[in-house]
Structure 1
Amino acid sequence: MAVEGGAKCVKYLVFFFNFIFWICGLALIVLGVIAQVTLHNTAVLKGSSAAAMVLIVVGVIIFFIAFFGCCGALKENHCMVTTFAVFLSLIIIIEIGGAIGAYVYRGKLNDLVSEEFERMIKEYNTTESARKAIDEIQSEFMCCGANSSDDWLNFKTSHNSVPDSCCKNVTQNCGIGEIHNDKIIYTKGCQPVIVDHLKKSVLWVGVGALVIAFVQITGIVLACILMRAIRSGYEVM
């Protein structure tokens, strides 16, 4: 027995909201990719990409869950609508957890960047990956060292030189003997710039996840109303 009246309106609202969910799934995938690219390009935190991958996976799952909602609403299938509501509830819990995790992670960024930068500075002269990462960061963010150019005091035995990537105009050996020369090199540290850049990215990811979760809660409410209407139709039959 097909639903009628207000329930029929809810049926089409559920279908409409599933289109929104489909968009939400795409949005989460995009947010995850942006976060992943940001972390990948910020070499000092290349290993910290779990949150970004969670967003991508959740986005893909939502993309497919929308199928249950659309089909369940159009066919008025109680089982499919129920499956849709249950899975979407689980996704919301994961998204809220992800948003909380992003907030906690945001508060630890300063310590994480500091530890990783200190390690790479120590390994600069011995490890190619550390040297490449530091050079990319200093060139991209126009900075030198973690807190200042003084972090490179042990770069050379003379204690007055910095890597060439600290130079405003990079040429071979341009940083030799120029550790405090702000006309030749960037003397400000990279850590504050990187932390600020990452905090903004993490904040937008967290806000995006919460906004999408709010939209999904509306969909769950509508799905529950439709489930009740479908069940009532069965009982009448």
Structure 2
Amino acid sequence: MGVEGGMKCVKFLLFFFNFIFWICGLALIIVGILVQMAVHSTFMIHDASASSVPLVIIGVGVVIFFIAFFGCCGAWKENYCMITTFSILLSLVIIVEIGAAIAGYIFRGKLTVIVQDSLSDMISKYNNGTDEFMKAVDKLQEDLKCCGVNGTSDWKDFKSDGISVPDSCCVNVTTDCGVRAMTDASKVHQEGCQNALEALLKKNVQWIIVAALVIAFLQIMGIVFACMLMRGIRSGYEVM
């Protein structure tokens, strides 16, 4: 009876952990989508490494979402084959998550170069860009309250006078507020966007790394419970 009670407890713990995994999978999908949107839609950064981490997290989230349902069914029905498959798949997911966390850490180290190159490219293409592109750059500068890459002087080629900046650089954005106001700190933000953008992206990547590692730890616990239940089923104990 003692073993029976213990296996019953393991069964329900595994079911509970899979429910948590299901929620974690949904959370990973949401976090990955939000970071992907932040990196590309808002800041228009197109470096391939910037996409890899959020896309991997989204993919892992989708896989976890379905594996968790599979694990719940296996635990509830006490199906040895389903639980074994669940354990193998979850182990593979953990490896991918650890890889994503490492990629995220590496990406953090490359942020300075990626951000600087992307912002410089945005500024050089601003005058000849589409309305959508210009609005994206303007929104970036307005939201982060910054101007240029390292400062207002990055906009020296914006107009022929060499001392005008886009209106989105202004402290109070109004039509033509940036005309001949490049060095006027009372009208135009003098700080560049690089530092502010780096800080924001690092914060997003940090959340991905933390989420991946925490969920990987929980999944290891789930595998432990799955192995215990598999052993009980194989030994012929009644876990109901």
Q: Same fold (TM over 0.5)?
A: yes
2:216 matches 1:205: no
Question: Residue by residue, what CA displacement relative to the aligned partner does 1:49-75 show, whole Å, maximum 9, x if unpaired?
Answer: 332222222112111111221121122
TM-superposed CA distance for 1:4, in Å, is 2.1
Q: Which deviates the most, 209-218 or 153-162?
A: 153-162
TM-superposed CA distance for 1:191, in Å, is 0.8
Query: Which whole-Å CA distance do the structure 1 matches of 2:89 and 2:163 have between them?
Result: 60
- The percentage of aligned residue pairs carrying the same residue is 55
Structure 1 SS opposite 2:178: coil
Query: Which whole-Å CA distance do the structure 2 matches of 1:130 and 1:122 have between them?
Result: 12
TM-superposed CA distance for 1:41, in Å, is 4.5
Q: What TM-score does the superposition give when structure 1 sets the normalisation length?
A: 0.91
Tell me the residue number matched to 1:42.
42
Q: Which deviates the most, 121-130 or 134-143?
A: 121-130
Query: Which whole-Å CA distance do the structure 1 matches of 2:198 and 2:222 have between them?
Result: 36
Question: Residue by residue, what CA displacement relative to the aligned partner does 1:65-100 show, whole Å, maximum 9, x if unpaired?
Answer: 112211211221110000100000011111111111
User: Pick from 72, 90, 93: which aligns with 1:91?
Assistant: 93
Deviation >6 Å, runs of 4+: none
Contact 1:44 1:113 in 2 (8 A): no
Contact 1:114 1:146 in 2 (8 A): yes
Query: Which whole-Å CA distance do the structure 2 matches of 1:125 and 1:31 have between them?
Result: 34
Unaligned segments of structure 2, at least 5 residues: none
Contact 2:126 2:133 in 1 (8 A): yes
Tell me the residue number matched to 1:107.
109
Q: What TM-score does the superposition give when structure 2 sets the normalisation length?
A: 0.90
Contact 1:14 1:70 in 2 (8 A): yes
Query: Which whole-Å CA distance do the structure 1 matches of 2:74 and 2:125 have between them?
Result: 58
Q: Which deviates the most, 95-104 or 6-15?
A: 6-15
Q: Which deviates the most, 123-132 or 97-106?
A: 123-132
- The letter of the residue matching 1:177 is R
TM-superposed CA distance for 1:26, in Å, is 1.6
- After superposition, the CA RMSD in angstroms is 1.7
Query: Which whole-Å CA distance do the structure 1 matches of 2:120 and 2:139 have between them?
Result: 16
- How many residue pairs end up in the alignment? 232
Tell me the residue number matched to 1:193.
196
